Structure 1
Amino acid sequence: MRTVSRYISVVFAGVFALSAYAQNGKIKSVENDYEDFAYVKTSEVLLEVANKGYRSVELFQKLANSYYFLNDMENAVKWYGELMSMNEVIDPEYYFRYALALKGVENYEESDKWMKKFNELKPDDRRGRAFLSKVDYKSNIEELSYLDVEPENLDINTEYSDFGTTEYENGIVFASARGGGRKYRWNEEPYLDLYSAEKTENGFGEATELQGKVNTKYHESSAVFSPNGRYMFFTRNNFFRLKYKEDETGVNRLQLYRATLSEDGSWDEIHKVHFNSEDYSVAHPTLNLTGSRLYFASDMPGTFGQSDIFVVDVNDDGTLGQPENLGPSINTEGQESFPFIDTSGNLFFSSTGFPGLGGFDVYKSEELDQKVASGSNRNFPIENIGMPVNSSADDFGYYENLVTKRVYFSSNREGGKGSDDIYTFVIPECEQLVSGTVIDKNTDALIVNATVILFDGEGNLIRRSNADANGAFKFDLDCEKEYIVRGEMETYASDEVRFTTPKKKQDLQVQLLLDKDVQEIGPCDDLAKVLDIPIIYFDFDKSNIRYDAEIELQKVLAVLNKYPTMTIDIRSHTDCRGLADYNERLSERRAQSTRQYLIDNGIDAGRLTAKGYGESQLVNDCGCEPTNESSCSDEEHQLNRRSEFIITSIKGESCDDKE
């Protein structure tokens, strides 16, 4: 069945409007149940009607939606398929739900077809645009997955819904419908309460209800605790001081509450947050490391879709400021919910709006909390965190302890004990190894004792070694970092490979193919031409070495190390645009900056001279005098913005001798 936790999220959106002209008495008879989210009863009656051969758009819409919200994706696919076969004009949202239901039965190829149709009908919808930007999303997700990890279904799970875990003291706090009592009409399970369970050597002890005034006869879920342990924020139905309230449509919304820890260990002094409303829901709180910002889900005014992620400042007394939507990088026209901020400021959240494996998938946006604090931008890149957390079912309630690497998440996937279960695993140690061989590119012979150098992504030297008797080498690396591996050998041109390590274990195999250096270099040669260095770039009006310039200068550095008798003259040139005196001074600063970079990286200063020539040595007719204007294109001007590395002497021969 579709889970209580799904209700906790989709209550934001409600359901599609019902037809005003029901064509069948039995369809009409369950209209109130349908509007009240009583999908178990609704589906039973509507299925009886459909099995008698009655066909209508309204029937198939309600029947498919009922199964969809009950998480019976096999039947949802069947009846959405019948709806599509009617060839009637329908809300494009049904195309999206059909695509999501098809993912639920792992029919990804068919799902992709309907997502394309959805995008054709709603080309401005972020969900369709996100799909088209990553049509190969499945392969991308697999690359980010821990495919060899099997998550553990916790022993404390029951036949009911258990979800939404957070660590607290020596245990966990979570929501569960195990308590018995009155049942919720959505899925005929008891209402949710908050429970805690102590850690033991073999798992967890018996789960017990949180002490105090937190739990009521309605839903409670999604607890988070302040860093000092004094406050707890949690989700509850709009039920406060024994008053149950609904909006104008008869829906009881979700709200955020704050409880205070009493001396006896119970949670009392329950307070509503000031932006709760009878007209929209707020739910699923999470706090950053310092407790200064709280993130939550809501469909309040300003929401992009069915529910969005918001952030709000937390005052010293535990009260909250004014909420702010995280914007379109995070939020779509679909559902974004169940946020979690880890101690490094990374945001994890569940969404139906981005390409995923089905239902809710969990996504990550790195260092989002720091970006929110700086207020510098609202561009938050996201990525699907992959398996085993994500599946074709609903996956949500992510929690990660960065110290122990212990992960908890909730899911209604196949094989669970109840409608929702809590799963856990420890993130594997990220072991990265790059190994390979150095080979003669022309003969395929192994090059013994070749120098192999490891750089970071910015060209900084990390390690240097020599290939062994088999031409082999290896380096241990860190995860999620960029590296360059370069092979060098006398009389050969060097070869290098650039790569970024993933977040999971990997043994990367590379080959460094060295080409016999048949090009003789001697006095007066320009290393920029020999090494194919087009331009040493500088930022506008600057003379400091840029990152991309460092990569090119590493090539010059390698040659200077290879030929210790070589001396060079560094020459910097500009195009004609700008004042001639200014161009000469700027090029001089750039030439000296380039020289200093090579000195700082171990080259003796006596081997290097440098001079800036400004616009005095143009290589074409792109001059600007006397009006300081030119008809040349940017590409023609660029030929003059060049750096030269003229060999002034090598192996006892000088450029003067050659001349």
Structure 2
Amino acid sequence: MKTLLKYILAIVFVQGCFMANSQESKVKSVKDDYNEFAYVKTSNVLLSVAENGYRSPEMLQQLANSFYFQNKMKEAARWYGELFKLTTDVDSEYYFRYALALKGAKNYEASDKWMEKFNELNPSDSRAKSFIARRDYRNQIEENSKANIEVNNLDFNSEYSDFGTAVYDGNLVFASARNNDEIKYQWNGQPYLDLFKVYSYNDGEYSEVSDYNSKINTKFHESSAAFMPDGNTMFFTRNNYYRNRVKKDEKGVNRLKLFRVSKDVNGNWGEIKSVHFNSDEYSVAHPTINKEGTRLYFASDMEGTVGDSDIWVVDINEDGSLATPRNLGASINTEGPDSFPFVNSEGDLYYSTKGLPGLGGYDIFVVRSADQKIADNVTDNYVVTNIGGPFNSNADDFAFYENVEKENGFFSSNRTGGKGDDDIYSFNLGECKQVVKGNVRDKQSGALLPGAIVVLKDGSGNELERVIVGSDAAFMFNVDCDKQYLVRGSKEKYSVEEKRFDTNDASLELNLDIGLSPVEIAIQPCDDLAKALNIPLIYFDLDKYDITYVAELQLQKVLAVLVEYPSMTLDIRSHTDCRAADEYNQKLSENRAQATLKYLVKSGIDPTRLTAKGYGESQLVNDCGCDTIDTSECTELQHQKNRRSEFIITSFKGKNCEE
């Protein structure tokens, strides 16, 4: 009996070893496929291995990555989860990918937890910094979302990938893998992309899809067209190949290049030319051109790139030649992939990125008036905003296009419910009829306050309209849809109160009463007015010094006291925490102090009543100093106490502060 048991155990052991060796051989068999980006084949083989119970860190990394790079985020999240069950000793990038994959599965709370772990491992990464600075990103995105926009999946989408739209001569020009060639792209198992066109009729209907141009399309990838304003020159993306042979970089990667083609005297597309800054060692792709035809924007990972790929710009000279490309900088670009730029007729820059807090993979963001700022050589302090739903989802959302005059446009997405992989969606903004009205009252007694001043401002704080309320203390403003506004109420011997609101509904009558509180504070020279008014921190966005909406609401309280007491003078003092170089923190605090002073002066305060100075990290209020590499074990809340603004009363009612 014992002998029989030994034989059985031996057989089981041999079978186990054989199965393990068999699974290991399968893993090794797709190593070259994985390294050559054949993610479909890799995931198919490794999935069968994993489902048979075999586990190793390398295998799970490759399996999860293969799904991740195919944008199959639910599957990626599953196998990244298995990887972390096996080991946490992996590169920090896997923490970020797992967090992003969890968003694709709509598991936002778990995603945020893994982003916190990513931040602990890599706090200097711009993606970690953005997450920490925007912990309430889901609320912000919800506020930016628009309920009155009609979104439609277009009928001409195929079962394959369809994305990117440019409008030319009444046609939509887009990229698609629908050509049904036998040659398949190993990355996703689909045919290579070509450019196609479909005519757009005024009634919203479309013609049959046709090949854009046989001279431009090849057996490899062509995508992302952009046209000069006169329609005589087109830029587009194509694989790097020469004389029907693919060219690769030193790592064996076939890169993307940017090409241009102009019409000849007969109106036909002529010779296709490579732009001068293409290279075999990096990619250049996804062009867009501003309204004037003076600047070309594109995505690239060329030298000087912040992350995986960045948004770049190059001037278009009067003779049509291109100048030297410039990176748009860390205010716009992240350490993730930044791609698919588009500039509308108002100079707003839209682009997609995985490097800023969003709802899924690629989210669409906008920088208002970016083209003009770039023309003026403004290199920082861009305000980057997630445009919210219905454009962004838990999937990849990209290739935004907008016709400002017609209030419609297109974007691409691989969200659930589409016809194929990536689909093209149209959107229409719809009609807007909105009114905001209310009364001004004493916040304590509820009494009406005739004679109060109510000001309507846009989302940037620019005054649009003001009224002095009558005996009924009532006000009413007509407003546009899909905008952010602010109403400010003020009256002598009362505090200034502001309320911010969004007009997201197609038809809205918003009742917005304003309650003002009598100004009653006990203050004297040398007091900090911020403490006397119970003002919390004056919040600035990470590494920036422009006055945010939240900061403005608090500064209005300071403004009210300065208006009420015209003899009062203040010294504005700005402080940072220790987490950056001393010189950088000093400059940042100086800029923030001056920005605060300028805001109060712009609001009507005599500049002779104000002084401002930055102190950097020289006056910490706790023991949260940093080591020689600017790191600290303190919590975020502890650091936050050091990031403060003070408003020291230097003179009041004829008395001076004697510090």
- Give TM-score scaled by structure 2 length: 0.74
Q: 1:324 aligns with which of 320, 323, 326?
A: 326
Letter in 2 for 1:71: N
> Counterpart of 2:565?
532
Structure 1 Cα separation of the partners of residues 349 and 503 of structure 2: 17
> Counterpart of 1:124?
124
Deviation readout 1:487-529 (Å, 9 max, x if unpaired): 76xxx955653345546446543323467999xxxxxxxx999
Structure 1 Cα separation of the partners of residues 570 and 187 of structure 2: 63
Pair 231,574 (structure 1): closer, same or farther in 2 beyond 3 Å: closer
Letter in 2 for 1:40: V
Which secondary structure state, in structure 1, belongs to the residue aligned with residue 100 of structure 2? helix
> Counterpart of 1:250?
252
Q: Is the 8 A contact 1:437 1:446 kept in 2?
A: yes
> Counterpart of 1:389?
391
Which secondary structure state, in structure 2, belongs to the residue aligned with residue 24 of structure 1? helix
Which secondary structure state, in structure 2, belongs to the residue aligned with residue 203 of structure 1? coil
Letter in 1 for 2:29: S
Structure 2 Cα separation of the partners of residues 241 and 82 of structure 1: 45
Deviation readout 1:43-89 (Å, 9 max, x if unpaired): 11111111221110011001111111222222211110010011241
Q: 2:274 aligns with which of 253, 272, 282?
A: 272
Pair 263,197 (structure 1): closer, same or farther in 2 beyond 3 Å: farther
Structure 2 Cα separation of the partners of residues 362 and 64 of structure 1: 25
Which secondary structure state, in structure 1, belongs to the residue aligned with residue 200 of structure 2? strand
Letter in 2 for 1:196: K
> Counterpart of 1:403?
405
Which secondary structure state, in structure 2, belongs to the residue aligned with residue 140 of structure 1? helix
Q: Is the 8 A contact 2:282 2:301 kept in 1?
A: yes
Give the CA deviation at 1:301. Answer: 1.2
> What's the RMSD between the two structures over aligned residues?
3.5
Structure 1 Cα separation of the partners of residues 462 and 378 of structure 2: 28
Letter in 2 for 1:114: W
Pair 634,166 (structure 1): closer, same or farther in 2 beyond 3 Å: closer
Q: Is the 8 A contact 2:570 2:609 kept in 1?
A: no
More moved, 201-210 vs 252-261: 201-210
Structure 2 Cα separation of the partners of residues 528 and 410 of structure 1: 50
Structure 2 Cα separation of the partners of residues 338 and 574 of structure 1: 45
1:50 is aligned to 2:42: no
Which secondary structure state, in structure 2, belongs to the residue aligned with residue 158 of structure 1? coil
> Counterpart of 2:200?
199
Q: Is the 8 A contact 1:396 1:409 kept in 2?
A: yes
Structure 2 Cα separation of the partners of residues 52 and 268 of structure 1: 56
1:486 is aligned to 2:486: no
Structure 2 Cα separation of the partners of residues 32 and 119 of structure 1: 33
Letter in 2 for 1:55: R
Runs (5+) with no aligned partner, structure 2: 1-20, 521-559, 573-596, 612-645
Q: 2:218 aligns with which of 216, 219, 232?
A: 216
Pair 534,503 (structure 1): closer, same or farther in 2 beyond 3 Å: farther
1:86 is aligned to 2:86: yes
Q: Is the 8 A contact 1:246 1:252 kept in 2?
A: yes
Q: Is the 8 A contact 2:342 2:401 kept in 1?
A: yes
> Counterpart of 1:142?
142
Q: Is the 8 A contact 2:571 2:647 kept in 1?
A: no
1:464 is aligned to 2:497: no
Q: Is the 8 A contact 1:351 1:363 kept in 2?
A: yes
Letter in 2 for 1:134: R
> Counterpart of 1:188?
189
Give the CA deviation at 1:552. Answer: 5.6
Letter in 1 for 2:208: E
Structure 2 Cα separation of the partners of residues 534 and 420 of structure 1: 64
> Counterpart of 2:29?
29
Deviation readout 1:387-443 (Å, 9 max, x if unpaired): 111110000001111111112100000000010100011124555532112445454
Pair 174,264 (structure 1): closer, same or farther in 2 beyond 3 Å: farther
Runs (5+) with no aligned partner, structure 1: 1-20, 519-526, 540-544, 555-571, 576-632, 644-659
Pair 213,460 (structure 1): closer, same or farther in 2 beyond 3 Å: closer
Give the CA deviation at 1:292. Answer: 1.1
Letter in 2 for 1:414: T
Q: Is the 8 A contact 2:282 2:302 kept in 1?
A: yes
Deviation readout 1:436-469 (Å, 9 max, x if unpaired): 124454543556x766643558896934365576
Structure 2 Cα separation of the partners of residues 162 and 149 of structure 1: 22
Structure 2 Cα separation of the partners of residues 439 and 336 of structure 1: 48
Q: Is the 8 A contact 2:193 2:223 kept in 1?
A: yes
Give the CA deviation at 1:641. Answer: 9.2
Structure 1 Cα separation of the partners of residues 462 and 51 of structure 2: 69
Give the CA deviation at 1:103. Answer: 0.1
Give the CA deviation at 1:119. Answer: 0.9
Give the CA deviation at 1:39. Answer: 1.4
Letter in 2 for 1:136: D
Structure 2 Cα separation of the partners of residues 534 and 183 of structure 1: 77
Deviation readout 1:118-154 (Å, 9 max, x if unpaired): 1111111000110010111000000001134341001
1:444 is aligned to 2:446: yes
> Counterpart of 1:646?
none
Letter in 1 for 2:277: F
Equivalent positions of 1:188-587 (< 5 A) are 188-200=189-201, 201-262=203-264, 265-429=267-431, 431-444=433-446, 453-454=454-455, 456=457, 462-464=465-467, 466=469, 472-478=474-480, 480=483, 483-486=486-489, 496-500=496-500, 502=502, 504-505=504-505, 507-513=509-515, 531-533=564-566, 535=568, 548-549=600-601, 551=603
Q: Is the 8 A contact 1:360 1:394 kept in 2?
A: yes
Structure 2 Cα separation of the partners of residues 206 and 437 of structure 1: 57
Structure 1 Cα separation of the partners of residues 562 and 95 of structure 2: 57
Equivalent positions of 1:551-630 (< 5 A) are 551=603
More moved, 422-431 vs 529-538: 529-538
Q: Is the 8 A contact 2:148 2:430 kept in 1?
A: no
Structure 1 Cα separation of the partners of residues 561 and 57 of structure 2: 71
Structure 2 Cα separation of the partners of residues 209 and 90 of structure 1: 46
Structure 1 Cα separation of the partners of residues 436 and 291 of structure 2: 35
> Counterpart of 2:98?
98
More moved, 144-153 vs 454-463: 454-463
Give the CA deviation at 1:237. Answer: 0.2
Give the CA deviation at 1:381. Answer: 2.0
Q: Is the 8 A contact 1:231 1:260 kept in 2?
A: yes
Structure 2 Cα separation of the partners of residues 60 and 459 of structure 1: 53
Q: Is the 8 A contact 2:285 2:300 kept in 1?
A: yes
Q: Is the 8 A contact 1:432 1:501 kept in 2?
A: no
> Counterpart of 2:542?
none
Identity of aligned residues (%): 47
Which protein is bigger by CA-based radius of gyration?
1
Give the CA deviation at 1:157. Answer: 0.7
- Give TM-score scaled by structure 1 length: 0.74
